[in-house]
Structure 1
Amino acid sequence: MPSALPFRRVSLLLPIALAATTVFAQASAPVAPKPGTEGAQKSAQRNAETQTGTPKPAPSDADTHLTKAQADDLLASVDGILAFVSKDTHLANNKPIKRAIHTRAEVTEILRRKMAEDEGTRRMQRAELVLKKFGLLDRDFDLQPFLLSLLSEQVAGFYEPKTRTMNLLDWVKPDEQKPVIAHELTHALQDNRVGLEKWNDPQPEEMSHNEREDNLHIQTDEASTARQAVTEGQAMVTFIDYSIRDTGKTLRDVPQMGDRLAQMGSDTSGSPILARAPLVLQQSLLFPYTNGVTFEQAILQRNGVDAAFAGALDRPPSSSHEILHPDDYLNHVPVPVLAIPDIHPLLDKQWNAYDIGVMGELDVRMLTELFGGAQIAGPLSLNWDGGIYYAAQKKDVTPAQKASTASLGLLYLSRWKNADSARSFLRVYATQLPRKYEHLQQVTTGTDVDIDHLRFTSEEGDILLTLDDRTVFISEGFPLDLAKQLEAKLREVQGNGVLQNAGLSNQLPVAGELHNRLATVVNIVPLSLR
């Protein structure tokens, strides 16, 4: 999905921190209250604090500052925590790491500066418009100020790869920061091994302008999403292991803990701003942590520490499908990747290339949950079998009009494991069209409506949805005749068998995801949230 959220290196550790200690308490207790009740959560949290020695995080106070003794203790703790993390992960601790303590005002200024970077802002605006065209964000939603508010609310400490600095906070007590430091120092050790800045984002920066470049974007679109889940999942393992170190256990010793943590970590009640966020933002932000930790735990259980850490860095997964289904990653099951033909001769005279990528399993799960509800989203997304999208912008529009979804034409081809799932997806997608377009009108020929071939007109142009066997084609905003030509080319180039991942290099994954736009821009804000 549009790699649009400025959050790649952002850690949502507040709900996850509470969930980690709560889950461990429930897993360890001989008799535990039923999960999901308020009493169970409060009881488990008290037990967790007793068993692990991890205090409940206190609300941050902008007027509170560490004393010199506390600041010295915090800075001195970094070396010991780094040694713990290196031992826990088997990742080498062989490069110096700087450390600094920041005030809240300084952190806020860092956030503003990162968010104001020209390239990051352009990528965010581009992704925001595509998300709105898909209907994943409301047309009047303003992404950038929302993100700045969220980051300001959540920031807890961060490792910065460019300067190799562990940045600490002067308004949070040292004992409350130390598990976060363990999380962030995991990124420092990952950085030692693979060089996180380049490793995190192998996708080409420039928009593609020919068939070869289009398919390269598709093959690398989800690289950042999958790799972020690896880095944050690994960091969550060390966060948990450090938090429960006094018990003598690790996450590997408590196999049920990861699944419970993933379920409880998705609770956004600890973040008022995140709780108000659109579903796509909530799930995109939490995915690397909740699903990343279950992915890493699966590798830990099956193949051990070296495979879960160094192994996953050296051979990263290529898609959210593999993160959601670790066994497929471990068994080298190919991930379906659709191809795009040369559509530039049909478009380039009147349209500019705007965005291209993959709608992966996570994207489909989010989209169908938003449009059709959670009950249908899970089963339907399991039958996803590949998907790609392409967005182009009209050349004859004013600068002001470029900010409107009406300036975009959108193509989306999705393939499913069976025709019933394809038809279900077409119906779910069609039902949300009235929410996106004020003047939507269905076009019919004759008295009967062909439910597998739907055409509409709207204030933003023609809309076409068609089903052929187990593949759904969607066009929004392109003139009908052009949409039909594009459909024919897209369908013609797809094979009927499972598409193998095309190896681009030893460490460059393939496949991708629309929501990855949300993760790519996140790279401009290398911060951890709490």
Structure 2
Amino acid sequence: MSLKHLRSAVPLSFLLLLALPLGAAEEDAVPSPSLPGGMSPLPEDLESRLRTLLRAAEKHRGLRSRSSVPSGTIGEAALERKMAEVLREELPPERLAALEVSLKAFGLLPEEMDFAAYYPRLLTTQVAGFYDPEERYFALVRREGDPGLADDTIIVHELTHALQDQHFDLRKLVSGDPLSDGGTARVALVEGDATFTMMSFVLGADELDELTSLGAALRSWMKDPERFVSTMPDLPGGAELARAPAWVRDSLLFSYFQGFAFCLEVRRRGGQKLLDRAFTTDPPRSSEQILHPEKWHGVRDDPAVLPWPDLSRALPGYRKAAEGELGEATLHTLLRQTSKPEEKAAEAAAGWGGDRFAVYEKDGRRVLVWLTEWDTEADAAEFRAALGALGDTWRVETLGPKRVQVTRGGLSDEERGAVRGEMGRVGAGEP
């Protein structure tokens, strides 16, 4: 479950894509659209600088620019309006409602939060630039009191998104359901690749070994994102990110940090050819594969597909408000609320083999039904123990040696038994 589909986020699909495709057109460049209203042209010195940085992005990513892209600057007020517009486009009201009710059912968002209002405001504090893949233009953000626009590091990151879009079509790659764990993985691929290119540029790294220690550090920081964010309160947007709900913060950081580590490992194993394959014919299918790259490039471990049964007879009068997947990354966030030390949450989530959930509503009541599949019996037992620490509102039941059902909400014993009967007949398939 991710912001990207939202991000990309944006998954939302593109709220989090801080993409900035610019540069000189090649001889076979295709015509580009003009800048939309409300934007100002880039200063001449920045236009020249961008051409140099585009060549750097091409070098460190290994892709050539195919076209020029209109570019300009945008103020903070216009940026917030743009973020809200993208949110509405990527997550129409029914999808946004499903995402919000799901997060609240898991306790990952405060009940009183208006997510549709909160998220664009948060992104406005985080975004230094963005690329619109629908209208194919790039904008750098002008902030009040900030004499500059963006440093070279950010620009190279965004230029990489431009190259990705020109070669792989980001609209197709990261569009989709915000409640899909596969979507979370694809967003991490896109953002991780841009972060890899950016850091390679910053360090002047021509060899992968020069980036290995950074990859290890990023993975270490993601073991406790809250502590990591608390160390940078003076950075732009740092205070807002520190105050954000854990799921919001973790989802944003996951795409960049864990995505970087995934792309680094893929390049170590198979170079740019293997990485490009991830963008074209064989993208990672789960956040588990981002966290454990060997489950994608090595002995393959794709998630089990759990088809959702019709629970209308088990839950008469209930309306299904949402259905989706949590995934290992979000499961880690959930368990980290009570697991001490934090490493225990990662260990309990690591045996994830697949999951599916749905949220049902009736007369103001909300019920969560969640089916999980585990790699081994020991993994299932470890998950049951970790989830039990979340409190007595969670009901955990074993449906098989490696299958665990979880319910939350005001189900009667009769309703819970009927649900268990239906869920017990669910078979696991291949993706």
Indicate the TM-score class for this superposition, using the shorter chain for normalisation. 0.7 to 0.9
Q: What is the 5 A alignment of 1:37-186?
A: 71-115=43-87, 119-171=91-143, 176-186=150-160
Contact persistence 1:283–1:366 (CA under 8 A) = yes
Contact persistence 2:17–2:131 (CA under 8 A) = no
Q: Provide the residue aligned with 2:371 in structure 1.
A: 413
Contact persistence 1:71–1:170 (CA under 8 A) = no
Gaps of 5+ in 1: 14-66, 206-216, 438-462, 503-530
Residues 1:433 and 2:391 are matched in the alignment: yes
2:405 aligned partner, one-letter code: F
Q: CA deviation at 1:140?
A: 2.8
User: Partners in 1 of 2:303 and 2:82 — Cα distance?
Assistant: 40
Q: Secondary structure at the match of 1:432?
A: coil
Q: Percent identity?
A: 24
User: Partners in 2 of 1:188 and 1:346 — Cα distance?
Assistant: 50
Q: Provide the residue aligned with 2:361 in structure 1.
A: 393
Residue by residue over 1:349-398, the C-alpha shift from the partner in whole angstroms, topping out at 9 and shown as x without a partner, is: 5232222122321122111111333132021112222222122233xx4x
Residues 1:313 and 2:285 are matched in the alignment: no
* 1:480 counterpart (400, 413, 416): 413
Residues 1:227 and 2:181 are matched in the alignment: no
Residues 1:241 and 2:196 are matched in the alignment: no
Q: Provide the residue aligned with 1:492 in structure 2.
A: 425
User: Partners in 1 of 2:262 and 2:182 — Cα distance?
Assistant: 16
Q: Secondary structure at the match of 1:371?
A: coil
Residues 1:189 and 2:163 are matched in the alignment: yes
Contact persistence 1:82–1:185 (CA under 8 A) = yes
Q: Secondary structure at the match of 1:304?
A: helix
Q: Provide the residue aligned with 1:254 in structure 2.
A: 211
Deviates more, 1:423-432 or 1:222-231: 423-432
Q: CA deviation at 1:337?
A: 1.2
Q: What TM-score do the two structures reach when normalised by structure 2?
A: 0.80
Residue by residue over 1:106-129, the C-alpha shift from the partner in whole angstroms, topping out at 9 and shown as x without a partner, is: 323323443455944443332122
Distance change >3 Å, CA 413–CA 108, structure 1 → 2: closer
1:199 aligned partner, one-letter code: L
Residues 1:283 and 2:250 are matched in the alignment: yes
Which structure carries more relative contact order (alpha carbon 8 Å, separation 6+)?
Answer: 1
User: Partners in 1 of 2:165 and 2:105 — Cα distance?
Assistant: 36
Residue by residue over 1:229-284, the C-alpha shift from the partner in whole angstroms, topping out at 9 and shown as x without a partner, is: 11000100111122233xx6455533222222343574213311111122222211
Contact persistence 2:359–2:367 (CA under 8 A) = yes
Q: CA deviation at 1:320?
A: 0.6
Contact persistence 1:389–1:413 (CA under 8 A) = yes
Q: Provide the residue aligned with 1:467 in structure 2.
A: 398
* 1:372 counterpart (323, 339, 342): 339
User: Partners in 1 of 2:207 and 2:148 — Cα distance?
Assistant: 22
Q: Provide the residue aligned with 1:292 in structure 2.
A: 259
Q: Secondary structure at the match of 1:340?
A: coil
Q: CA deviation at 1:484?
A: 1.7
User: Partners in 2 of 1:331 and 1:418 — Cα distance?
Assistant: 19
Q: What TM-score do the two structures reach when normalised by structure 1?
A: 0.66
Instruction: Detail structure 1 runs of 4+ shifted over 4 Å in the superposition.
Output: 2-6, 10-13, 115-119, 171-176
Q: Provide the residue aligned with 1:268 in structure 2.
A: 229
User: Partners in 1 of 2:210 and 2:381 — Cα distance?
Assistant: 44
1:415 aligned partner, one-letter code: E
Q: CA deviation at 1:418?
A: 3.8
Q: Secondary structure at the match of 1:158?
A: strand
Residues 1:384 and 2:348 are matched in the alignment: no
1:256 aligned partner, one-letter code: S
Deviates more, 1:271-280 or 1:144-153: 144-153
In our comparison, the structure showing a higher alpha carbon Rg is 1
1:386 aligned partner, one-letter code: G
Contact persistence 2:157–2:195 (CA under 8 A) = yes
Distance change >3 Å, CA 253–CA 260, structure 1 → 2: same
1:102 aligned partner, one-letter code: I
User: Partners in 2 of 1:126 and 1:313 — Cα distance?
Assistant: 28
User: Partners in 2 of 1:264 and 1:376 — Cα distance?
Assistant: 15
Aligned residues: 389
Residue by residue over 1:57-101, the C-alpha shift from the partner in whole angstroms, topping out at 9 and shown as x without a partner, is: xxxxxxxxxx99x82211222222222212322223112211111
* 1:303 counterpart (270, 294, 297): 270
2:169 aligned partner, one-letter code: G
User: Partners in 1 of 2:310 and 2:217 — Cα distance?
Assistant: 46
Gaps of 5+ in 2: 19-39, 233-237
1:312 aligned partner, one-letter code: A
Residue by residue over 1:164-207, the C-alpha shift from the partner in whole angstroms, topping out at 9 and shown as x without a partner, is: 1121134456584322111111111111122211221244x9xx
User: Partners in 1 of 2:219 and 2:242 — Cα distance?
Assistant: 17
User: Partners in 2 of 1:494 and 1:425 — Cα distance?
Assistant: 20
Distance change >3 Å, CA 409–CA 170, structure 1 → 2: closer
Q: CA deviation at 1:11?
A: 5.1
Q: CA deviation at 1:286?
A: 0.6
Distance change >3 Å, CA 122–CA 76, structure 1 → 2: farther
